[in-house]
Amino acid sequence: DYTTDINGTTITNKYTPGETSATVTKNWDDNNNQDGKRPTEIKVELYQDGKATGKTATLNESNNWSHTWTGLDEKAKGQQVKYTVEELTKVKGYTTHVDNNDIGNLIVTNKYTPEKPNKPIYPEKPKDKTPPTKPDHSNKVKPTPPDKPSKVDKADQSKDNKTKPENPLKELPKTGMKIITSWITWVFIGILGLYLILRKRFNS
């Protein structure tokens, strides 16, 4: 823009370059920091027509992850200046996307990608799939059955069982029979004696 200054007969037109501002905002796409991986702050830099200006800003919770640069040249060599931002801090586990379409709200989005658990290591399968050889049974030695015990002849066995001992026991005396015989003898003697006495009396 030009301003006019009149001093007497001198008219001076003074040009004042237009100024603009640029605002950057940080956006986190990490489900409200679910894994606690979000850093406490990040740093960004302002670019003018694709070239770094050296103007940086630190974004954190205290400034609501936002910053505004003011007093920026609106044009350069009669052309509209394009301002963009780049993130200087590289955050592990996050991917960065920058939307530079609106100079009034340059948005830097960090999206979190959860780490995948390590895959378990399985032992390698053997490449050789040759089946195991079957055992050879052609030369297998059959066990000899045990000899059967010889049968004992029943007749011989019965004879053996009935064999009398070499020294058989003598018969035990029959005590009862001996006593009875003794009594009969004495009775007979008594009767005979009585008969002889009576006969003698009758004869006399």
**pLDDT tens track for 89-126:** 998 999 999 999 998 899 999 999 887 776 767 667 76
Write the DSSP assignment of 20-76 as a string of letters.
Answer: EEEEEEEEEESTTTTTS---SEEEEEEEETTEEEEEEEEEEGGGTTEEEEEEEESEE
CB 25 within 8 A of CB 97: no
Mean pLDDT of 13-23: 77
pLDDT in tens, 118-150: 676 766 776 666 777 776 666 666 767 777 766
Quick: pLDDT tens for 22-69: 999 999 999 999 999 999 999 999 999 999 999 999 999 999 999 999
The pLDDT of residue 88 is: 97
pLDDT at residue 121, as a whole number? 72
